[in-house]
Amino acid sequence: MPPKRTRPKSARQVNNASLITPDVIAKRTKRHLDELERSNYAEPGLDVGEDEEESGKSFKGRARQVISDKRNLNLSGNSPAAKKKKSTMNVRTALLYRKNLATLIEESGIASMPSSIPTYLTARTPPSSYPPRLICSVCGYWGRYKCQKCALPYCDQGCEAVHVETRCERRVI
């Protein structure tokens, strides 16, 4: 019998291989962990909606509104905060130009400090010495099997069906 469908088969296999490489999985996990650190939920597909809202304002010319001026409060004393006087240059700069944490870490220069000084970067706890245990991505029980296409774990055929229907491959970049 002549070999049938070998080329389409191997093409499909090549497709499968590109979907489950470890760096694709790592990228997916990293994206998930970043999502877990967000303050407000943005639909996936909308590009970084939260940050744009803030930085967009600063590009509209430097007359950016500061939200802290919008309050009507009574503070006692003669400080600039209380009297609504003009604040110092340092304070005004800090209020108007908001930097994210990655920028601040770079600017602080802690990455180039000598190794004898403990810093935010060195204080991270070491990686786990045990392999991770797999949890079913659908129901939360032990994930004994992994999806062939996207390597997410599931526990039984019922959960596999749900997974394939809803989430499979959608989280793979």
Partner 1 sequence: MKLSNNIVILDNGAFSIKTGTTSSKTSKKNTNHPRVIPNAIVRSKGDKTTYFGHEIENCRDYSSLHYRLPFEKGYIVDWDAQKAIWDGVFSDQILNINTTESSLILTEPYFNLPNIQEVYDQFVFEEYEFSSYHRCTPASLIPYGTLFNTPDLLSSPPECMVIVDSGFSFTHVVPILNGNVVWGAVKRLDVGGKLLTNQLKELVSYRQWNMMDETFIMNDVKETCCYVSENFSKDLETARLDVKSNPIVQEYILPDMSTNRRGHVRQLTDIVSDSDQILFMNNERFTVPEIIFRPDDIGLDQSGLAATISVSISLLPEDLQGMFWANIGLIGGNCKFPGFRKRLLSELQSLVPEDNEIVIYECNDPITEAYHSALSFATGPHFSGRTVTRAEYQESGTTRRKFRDWKNPPPPPPIDHRGIIEDDLTQTSNDERPPPVQATGNKSIKSRVRGNVPSNNRPSRR
CB of 10 to partner 1, least distance (A): 31
CB of 146 within 8 A of CB of 152? yes
CB of 171 to partner 1, least distance (A): 11
Nearer to partner 1, 1 or 67 (CB): 67
CB of 94 within 8 A of CB of 80? no
Nearer to partner 1, 87 or 146 (CB): 87
CB of 159 to partner 1, least distance (A): 11
Query: What burial letters (b/e) apply to 129-151, b meaning 16+ CB within 10 Å?
Result: eeeeebebbbeeeebeeebeebb
CA–CA dist 131, 78 (Å, integer): 59
Nearest CA to 149 out of 24, 43, 44 is that of: 24
Binding site for partner 1 (CB under 8 A): 29, 32-33, 35-41, 66-68, 70-71, 73-82, 87-88, 90-91, 94-96, 98-101, 104-105, 107-108, 110, 113, 117-120, 123-133, 135, 138-142, 166-167
Nearer to partner 1, 14 or 141 (CB): 141
